[in-house]
Amino acid sequence: MVYRTERNYENLNKGIFPGAGRFDIPILRPELTTAENWISFNYAKGCEEPSEHGVHFFVDDYQFNRIWAHPDNYLGMMARFDTVCTPDFSTYTDFPRIIQIYNHYRKHWLGAYWQAHGIKVIPTISWSTPDSFAWCFDGEPVGGAVAVSSVGTQASPESADLFMAGYNEMLRRLQPAQIIFYGKVPAGCEGNIFHVTAFQEKLKARVKGKKEPCNVRDGVPDD
């Protein structure tokens, strides 16, 4: 990592990391996680047992944009947790491509910055259309844990197909040992999956008066 002391610009004064691909996306090293309890970033500050939890960022971007603006303010909090996912800055298919790539870069810069400070980090994998495969896996580690979310991806056959195309490409390229899966797991998703119940799933279960689904690893309930 290279440190710079001049005026802050996109956090480059804090570090420039070895990069991969055309856009020099900061490279993350592979990690495995033992965390079985996961909370979203917006609940991290009040977590009473952070060492027993992992933190994910499957919430709206406005909930965590501040960690990019002030990364040092959150180092101490992130270090308390067993595992931290990289932020899920959005790469929606209708976003201009440059914004999608910028968000992929920001996600990886923060992940590399956290790893440089001794925090266990696993990457949140995100893609848009198949064109994004040219860069959306740059910097991702091979053979470690990853995090993905299906929330909002199953609204139409077209979006469901896009999700499966990216998911299968992730399996092919990254060969993940663990997959932290936030949201309902669509049929056909393979791998060593640990299911994290999404807020939307919990809400639907409450409305229907059913027991909330538990976290599931390989299709077997934890309890």
Tell me the per-residue pLDDT of 25-45, one tens digit each, with 9 for 90 and over: 999 999 999 999 999 999 999
Q: What is the pLDDT of residues 64-108, one digit of tens each?
A: 999 999 999 999 999 999 999 999 999 999 999 999 999 999 999
Which of 1-15, 27-41, 48-62, 207-221 shows the lowest per-residue confidence on average (mean pLDDT)? 207-221
> What is the chain's length?
223
- pLDDT confidence of residue 1: 72
Q: Report whether pLDDT(6) > 60.
A: no
Query: What token pair was written down for 80?
Result: 């308390």
Find the mean pLDDT for residues 126-144. Answer: 98
Answer CATH for 31-221 from 3.20.20, 3.30.70, 3.40.50, 3.30.1600: 3.20.20
CA distances in angstroms from 143 to 24, 30, 113, 179, 191, listed in the order given:
21, 7, 21, 11, 12
Share above pLDDT 70 across residues of the chain, in percent, rounded to a whole number? 86
171 has a pLDDT exceeding 80: yes
Flag whether pLDDT at 222 surpasses 50.
no
In the numeric block, which tokens belong to residue 68?
Answer: 């990019």
The H or E element that residue 194 is part of is strand 193-196
Quickly state the pLDDT bin for 9 (edges 50, 70, 90): confident
- Residue 221 reports pLDDT greater than 80: no
| pLDDT of res. 61 | 96
Identify the weakest region by mean pLDDT among 48-62, 168-182, 203-217: 203-217
More confident site: 220 or 102? 102
How distant, in Å, are the alpha carbons of 21, 47, 48, 131, 139 from that of 134? 9, 38, 41, 6, 12
Whether the predicted pLDDT of 199 surpasses 70? no
CB distance 198 to 215 below 8 Å = no
